[in-house]
């Protein structure tokens, strides 16, 4: 399954609910209420994602999982996801910057109701990925505009 290079780029941007070490990719200056709304929207619309996932009607499928340890919480895109028995399973899509209980490529399983986002790609277009929106103001203007053009809203 091909992964859109943009998906890999966006997977590097992390957001945290608790402070730990400060990786370069950690985004702290974002609209927290916008992020909360994006997570709520993703959870409310996850069944739409499941319809497309079940049909295999996209180029790639990912869900975002909040992963916690004693250092805090970090949100990771899980790639190449599957769904069974109310749970998503996929591979952690980037190296951790805060938590230490997970590593790049490691399989991870999360309950449907615990995801913080979902996305699928068709060509250059990104469907879902709602947690990208609150982060766009922290991107350089040109990159933000290019990404906005790929988001299907």
pTM (two decimals): 0.84
Of 4-18, 102-116, 133-147, which range is least confident?
Answer: 4-18
DSSP character at residue 26: B
Give the pLDDT band of residue 29 (cuts 50, 70, 90): confident
Give the pLDDT band of residue 121 (cuts 50, 70, 90): very high
Give the Cα separation of 127 and 117 in Å (integer).
11
Question: pLDDT tens digits, residue range 69-105?
Answer: 999 999 999 999 999 999 999 999 999 999 999 999 9
The whole-number pLDDT of residue 76 equals 96
Of 10-24, 72-86, 137-151, which range is least confident?
Answer: 10-24
Average pLDDT, stretch 8-20?
A: 42
Structure tokens given for 42 = 């993703």
Average pLDDT, stretch 7-22?
A: 43
Give the pLDDT band of residue 53 (cuts 50, 70, 90): very high
Instruction: Identify which has the larger pLDDT, 75 or 28.
Output: 75
Average confidence score pLDDT of the chain = 88
Give the pLDDT band of residue 7 (cuts 50, 70, 90): very low
To the nearest 10 degrees (0 to 180), the angle between helices 46-55 and 32-44 is: 50
Question: Does pLDDT of 60 surpass 70?
Answer: yes
Distances 23 to 17, 100, 102, 139 between C-alpha atoms, Å:
14, 13, 15, 16
CA end-to-end distance (rounded Å), the chain: 24
């Amino acid at each position: 399954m091909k992964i859109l290079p943009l998906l890999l780029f966006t997977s590097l941007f992390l957001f945290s609910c608790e402070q730990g070490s400060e990786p370069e990719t950690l985004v702290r200056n974002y609209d927290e209420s916008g992020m909360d709304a994006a997570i709520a929207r993703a959870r409310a619309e996850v069944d739409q994602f499941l319809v497309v996932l079940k049909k295999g009607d996209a180029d790639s499928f990912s869900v975002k999982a909040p992963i916690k340890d004693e250092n805090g919480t970090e949100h990771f895109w899980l790639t190449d996801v599957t769904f069974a028995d109310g749970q998503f399973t996929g591979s952690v899509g980037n190296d951790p910057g805060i938590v230490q209980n997970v590593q790049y490529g490691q399989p991870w399983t999360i309950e449907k109701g615990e995801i913080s986002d979902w996305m699928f790609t068709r060509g250059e277009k990104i469907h879902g990925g709602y947690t990208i929106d609150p982060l766009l103001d922290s991107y350089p203007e040109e990159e933000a505009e290019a990404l906005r053009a790929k988001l299907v809203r």
